[in-house]
Structure 1
Amino acid sequence: MKKIILTTILCSSLAFTGCKKWLDVTPEAQATKDEVFSTQKGFRDALTGAYINMKSSNTYGGSMMWGNIEYMARNWDVVSSSNTALTSLASGTYTDATARGWLDNTYADQYKVIADVNSILENIDLKKELFTDNNYALIKGESLALRAFTHFDVLRMFGPMPDDAGTQPILPYVKTVTHQIIEPISYQAFAQEILADLDEAESLMKDTDPFTKYSMAELNPTSSSTANPVVSDDYYMYRQIRMNYYAVLALKARVYLWLAPLDPANVQNAAKYAQMVIDAKDHNGTPTFRLGKESDRVAGDYTMSPEHIAALSVYNLDATATNTFGESGSLQRSDFNVQDGFYYLNNLFPVAERTSDVRWKEMWVYKTTAGSTGYVMYRKFIQRSSSPILQVPLLRLSEMYLILTECAQTKEAAEAVYGTYCAQKGIPFVSGFNATDWQADRRNKMIREYVREFYAEGQTFFTYKRYNVTTLPASWTSVYYTGNTTRYVVAKPDREINYHNN
């Protein structure tokens, strides 16, 4: 609360006696902001605040991870036909007032995170002398990466189709903290702003991020560790749950693939950055990341944390997941044994693959609650091991393999990358892509892999939009999902927002 608000109350109670001196008091919010950016710790705390705001229920703590955006992709059943808000999301109409409010809140909360990092970026160069070691480069680099990451998801949800961007203004790319409305810019200009932020973030963190020097194990001391031998500052630990150097590379791969229709060279750029992440090694020559596999599943690590390139730490994830996906949770799917011709789980995971695919085994289980036994629940975020993985992934190594597969110029190159991925995930892939039309077969397999791999991680809707999927399935008698511009290009809020910190 600002002190000026307190002034109003006091002036009323004092019948305006001596009110002028009270009105001269500096608002507390402004004083606090000045104090925050007077120390290195203050900048660190401000960046932590941005990460915390990313866990809003309107963004990556719900709606943009396993909530609304998954209904928009029809990854969850709308159990009650009377729930018009969810029905509106699942049908892709977005006309229900409640659903419209949810989408508007997502838009607003994304820009709140942007306002957080813009506060840092507006002050950091003026206070460069405050920083020790590599803190200046890391904090500025992470802030730029978060600004790009968040703007990119605004573009993916509220922006035009990637292959029909046009030249008209679409969305604001906000780089200042202001009470003024920021004018929207064109798709091309918006894309260049994202890439400019990522280029600068990459340059800042390339030689300063501890993640480029030490292994994930060395930066993640266990409870039994008596000391952390490689870093003296705990701010440098757990880099995989921050927008680290490799997260910047991975995000660039994702962005360039989205921007492929603008320039064919973007395909090569996407492949280059995906390969850089795959090839990353620590000082011992050990790969920095590895694909999740059967042993991770057996240990109860269902999100495959060794392949997390960036993630959000969620201390209460166990309770949240149980309440959201568990017996009483509302996020569920119909019985996967019903051969109904729909794009349900029985089509995502053919029977022949269920004995080996780590994304299937123990991930989908029947509910036992009376009245709900016809539904299955998803266990990806439910914690089972004695050492819970309390984080939700934002970028994973699996995506880098899929990007590299999609960008491969030859059938043989695509099969080599995809074959490596399949071997770790337990996916049968012995005969390669269909020789008659291998590119079409690759496309179909990539769409299915994105759905299977990133279920409840908010990526299915964006996959369908990028591929401009019109119907699923295209060849079955019953069409489960229909995609079109109305579904894919979500309208911005009717009223614009101010891009400042409250």
Structure 2
Amino acid sequence: MKRIKILGLAVLMFVLTACDDWLDVNASNQVDRNELFKSELGYAEALTGVYAKMCDGSLYGRELTFNILDIVAGYYDIQMFEHMAWYTYEYAKSENEWQRNYCKPYIEKMWNGVYAQIANLNSLLATIDGNKGIFSDDNYNLIKGEALGLRAYLHFDLLRLFAEVYETGKDKESIPYVTTLAPTVTPLFTQKDAVEIMLEDLKNAKDLLKNDPMRLGVTPAACLASLPSGKYLSSAKNIPTWHNRRFRFNYYAVVATMARVYLWKGDEPNALACAQEVIAVQESTFPWVQQSDLTGITSTQTDEYYKHKQDRTFATEHIFALNVTDLEKLMDSYIYDGTVGMSQSYNSKELTGDERMKLYESYTADYRYQYGFASYKSNFLVAKFYQHTLCGRYFQERLPLIRLSEMYYIAAECALDPKDGVDYLDQVRSHRGLNSYSLDRNMSSSRLKEEILKEYKKEFIGEGQLWYYYKRLQKMDFSSHMTDVKFFTFEIPDLEQANAGRQ
């Protein structure tokens, strides 16, 4: 395939600190892995480089979170005419060449961009076993575990984008599961086989990461995470030294991803067990957002200390997040970036006041309703990622990819007794300002499913997760454009198919 042939010869890139500080390892077209992988720091920097490239706007920095995936989930009142093509993407494949041509480049960048990072992970994994001697302490296991877990995570998102829902597509060809860096074509795996390999990667990663500093509650080595910093660590008990392990594919990110994969394949007992493992450490590892760290968001006060208290993304609840250093630039013209007038407002993703109120069922006490939006002209923009320049560093530039609340929603869906499911939902709701609005514990299973859907819609706006939820359950009643389950499956790029000899 094109990505394998090119990436097998490509220069492996890495960063030292920020998403845009990339350095060439070697000026030639051949990767000199001996140069990069001669120290544990080199391995750590190569892995950091993968996280950095995931921040790109064509990937999780925009399209796979608050833009394309939220467009197709039906969140926004779209203002830009071209973006309306996503509403009828599947239909457009055969009926409207203009719409198809508009969507194709975005999809190609998703496919190529994610596989590029899988190739970089495979480059790291190809040499790490032979270099165990250069690692100190348990860093070999931790770095290898991160790489294996992240490889599975990236493949899983590709599967959810480019394959049918598991129920109907488990025995059909889906995506290549690439585990080596070589100039050869990787075949398309059946979805069932791809998921099994995925779970094997995750199980191995979980075992390797058993001594993760985040799990043990100890200070990580410098090559495993930077330490939290900031002038006002007002909630010091909630900002431990391993806090920034949330930016790495840590032990709990592996377990949470396993919960997602098991639920995708319909294995509810295992999905529940994984979700419960994360929930069990909620108090010590993923403390709920504090209302005192939200009050500065809507305040007109200019006091520096007060402005630091703006935890819009509920940072301590993040299981795995990206540190997107140019997030404000990526938000501009799409969602709220703090400016009064955005540079290209016709791109903006807006909700009307009525839509916002309906989304949160008129519960204006809901933290997500109060602090997640900013008024813009006569409508509202998603503002959950924006941070005032004075905001505490430990709250800034965070884009969550897996958060604690999802584990409660998975547990609620998989609970054997609906009463237990309601309890899981209410644990989240009570920490979203809705402690006075408990759900009926005697509701039916069907009603519980409706409540879970409402929570997904409220919680994940801007994060790209709702569309995956709709797809897994094959729900098409959220949009008049969704008239066929095929609409949930993106096409593998034409160039990929041609270069792999599949056309």
Place the TM-score, normalised by the shorter chain, in its bin: 0.7 to 0.9
Return the offset for 1:166: 4.1
Aligned length: 436
**Aligned residue number for residue 267 of structure 1:** 268
Question: Which secondary structure state, in structure 2, belongs to the residue aligned with residue 425 of structure 1?
Answer: coil
Return the offset for 1:431: 4.6
Structure 1 residues without counterparts, runs of 5 or longer: 6-25, 227-233, 261-265, 338-343, 368-372, 473-478
Among 449, 452, 456, the alignment partner of 2:458 is 452
Provide the rounded CA distance (Å) in 1 between the counterparts of 2:477 and 2:442.
Answer: 21
Question: Which secondary structure state, in structure 1, belongs to the residue aligned with residue 206 of structure 2?
Answer: helix
Aligned residue runs from structure 1 range 33-432, under 5 A: 33-81=33-81, 83=82, 86-93=83-90, 95=93, 96=99, 97-206=101-210, 208-214=211-217, 220-223=227-230, 238-260=244-266, 266-280=267-281, 287-298=284-295, 299-326=309-336, 327-328=341-342, 329=345, 330-337=347-354, 344-351=355-362, 353-354=363-364, 356-367=365-376, 373-384=377-388, 386-388=391-393, 389-427=396-434, 429-432=437-440
Question: Which secondary structure state, in structure 1, belongs to the residue aligned with residue 32 of structure 2?
Answer: helix
Return the offset for 1:90: 2.1
Verify the 8 A CA contact 1:433 1:442 in the aligned structure 2: no
* C-alpha distance 421-53 of structure 1, shift in aligned 2 (>3 A): same
Provide the rounded CA distance (Å) in 2 between the counterparts of 1:80 and 1:132.
Answer: 53
- Supply the AA of the counterpart residue of 2:119: A
Return the offset for 1:127: 1.3
Greater mean alpha carbon deviation, residues 193-202 or residues 490-499: 490-499
* C-alpha distance 61-225 of structure 1, shift in aligned 2 (>3 A): closer
Return the offset for 1:292: 2.8
Verify the 8 A CA contact 2:259 2:274 in the aligned structure 1: yes
- Supply the AA of the counterpart residue of 1:147: R
* C-alpha distance 481-364 of structure 1, shift in aligned 2 (>3 A): farther
**Aligned residue number for residue 490 of structure 2:** 490
**Aligned residue number for residue 446 of structure 2:** 440
Provide the rounded CA distance (Å) in 2 between the counterparts of 1:410 and 1:291.
Answer: 25
Verify the 8 A CA contact 1:240 1:308 in the aligned structure 2: yes
Verify the 8 A CA contact 1:470 1:483 in the aligned structure 2: yes
Q: Among all aligned residue pairs of Structure 1 and Structure 2, give the percentage whose two residues are the same amino acid.
A: 28
Question: Which secondary structure state, in structure 1, belongs to the residue aligned with residue 181 of structure 2?
Answer: coil
Return the offset for 1:315: 1.8
Structure 2 residues without counterparts, runs of 5 or longer: 1-5, 11-25, 94-98, 234-240, 296-308
**Aligned residue number for residue 238 of structure 2:** none
Greater mean alpha carbon deviation, residues 62-71 or residues 378-387: 378-387
* C-alpha distance 455-31 of structure 1, shift in aligned 2 (>3 A): closer
Question: Which secondary structure state, in structure 1, belongs to the residue aligned with residue 367 of structure 2?
Answer: coil
CA-to-aligned-CA distance 1:415-465 (integer Å, 9 cap, x gap): 222222211112354351563xx1111111111211210101011110110
- Supply the AA of the counterpart residue of 1:336: G
Question: Which secondary structure state, in structure 2, belongs to the residue aligned with residue 309 of structure 1?
Answer: strand
CA-to-aligned-CA distance 1:273-307 (integer Å, 9 cap, x gap): 111111127xxxx5110233533332321110010
Verify the 8 A CA contact 2:426 2:439 in the aligned structure 1: no
* C-alpha distance 290-484 of structure 1, shift in aligned 2 (>3 A): farther
Return the offset for 1:313: 0.7
Verify the 8 A CA contact 1:434 1:441 in the aligned structure 2: no
Provide the rounded CA distance (Å) in 1 between the counterparts of 2:31 and 2:411.
Answer: 49
Provide the rounded CA distance (Å) in 1 between the counterparts of 2:349 and 2:231.
Answer: 38
Question: Which secondary structure state, in structure 1, belongs to the residue aligned with residue 185 of structure 2?
Answer: coil
- Supply the AA of the counterpart residue of 1:259: K
Return the offset for 1:175: 0.3
Return the offset for 1:31: 5.5
Provide the rounded CA distance (Å) in 2 between the counterparts of 1:157 and 1:259.
Answer: 15
CA-to-aligned-CA distance 1:51-91 (integer Å, 9 cap, x gap): 1111121111111011111111122222143x2xx122123
- Supply the AA of the counterpart residue of 1:88: A
* C-alpha distance 374-397 of structure 1, shift in aligned 2 (>3 A): same
Question: Which secondary structure state, in structure 2, belongs to the residue aligned with residue 419 of structure 1?
Answer: helix
- Tell me the TM-score normalized by structure 2: 0.80
* C-alpha distance 363-237 of structure 1, shift in aligned 2 (>3 A): closer
- Supply the AA of the counterpart residue of 2:350: R
- Supply the AA of the counterpart residue of 1:460: L
Provide the rounded CA distance (Å) in 2 between the counterparts of 1:426 and 1:416.
Answer: 16
Question: Which secondary structure state, in structure 2, belongs to the residue aligned with residue 456 of structure 1?
Answer: coil
Question: Which secondary structure state, in structure 2, belongs to the residue aligned with residue 169 of structure 1?
Answer: coil
- Supply the AA of the counterpart residue of 2:272: A
Return the offset for 1:34: 2.5
Report which of the two structures shows the higher radius of gyration computed on alpha carbons. Answer: 1
Return the offset for 1:391: 1.2
Question: Which secondary structure state, in structure 2, belongs to the residue aligned with residue 312 of structure 1?
Answer: strand
Greater mean alpha carbon deviation, residues 148-157 or residues 100-109: 100-109
Return the offset for 1:394: 1.1
